[in-house]
């Protein structure tokens, strides 16, 4: 099998994994916000379920560390691709969360 196709297969899994980690981080952050709103809505003390909030912060921290690790994996795989002599861009599109808007919109201010 050609190296470029193998690299593309790995890149697709990498993008899927990055999206999953980002999605989990987003969901965990939303859960934390919802928990804080719920405590306020039921008018309980700040100490109510504090241990749960501490665990949630730890989970978010772990997901953030996983995201940082995935950035490292991405960079290392890019280096490996170059060492294998694969210099072209892969055919698959990056997930939408990786696509960045490059168009600058100017508007009148004042």
Place of tokens 């987003």: 26
| pLDDT tens digits along 92-107 | 455 555 555 445 555 5
Number of domain units in the chain: 1
Q: Residue 103: what pLDDT?
A: 53
Q: Is residue 99 part of a domain?
A: no
Is position 74 within any domain?
yes
Tokens of 12: 């697709």
Q: Are 14 and 76 in contact (CB under 8 A)?
A: no
Number of other CB atoms surrounding residue 72 within 10 Å: 10
Would you say 39 and 67 are in contact if contact means Cβ atoms under 8 Å apart? no
Mean pLDDT, residues 46-61 taken together: 95
Contact 13, 74 (CB under 8 A): no
110 inside domain:
no
List Cβ<8 Å contacts ≥24 apart for 71-78.
73/14, 74/14, 74/18, 77/10, 77/11, 77/14
Closest CA to 38 of 49, 54, 29, 51: 49
Over residues 53-59, the mean pLDDT reads: 97
Question: Is residue 21 over pLDDT 60?
Answer: yes
Mean pLDDT of 10-37: 97
Mean pLDDT value across residues 60-79 = 97
- Give the range of the structural domain holding residue 18, as residue numbers without chain letter: 3-83
What is the band of 1 on the pLDDT scale with cuts at 50, 70, 90? confident
Residue 96 lies in a domain: no
Average pLDDT, the chain: 87
Q: Is the pLDDT of residue 63 over 60?
A: yes
């Amino acid at each position: 099998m050609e190296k470029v196709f193998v690299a593309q297969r790995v890149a697709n899994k990498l993008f899927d994994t990055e999206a999953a980690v980002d999605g989990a981080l987003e969901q965990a952050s939303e859960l934390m916000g919802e928990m804080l709103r719920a405590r306020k809505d039921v008018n309980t003390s700040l100490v109510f379920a504090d241990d749960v909030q501490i665990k949630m912060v730890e989970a978010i921290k772990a997901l953030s560390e996983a995201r940082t690790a995935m950035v490292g994996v991405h960079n290392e795989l890019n280096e490996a691709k170059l060492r294998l002599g694969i210099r072209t861009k892969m055919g698959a599109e990056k997930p939408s969360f990786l696509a960045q808007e490059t168009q600058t919109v100017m508007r009148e201010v004042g």
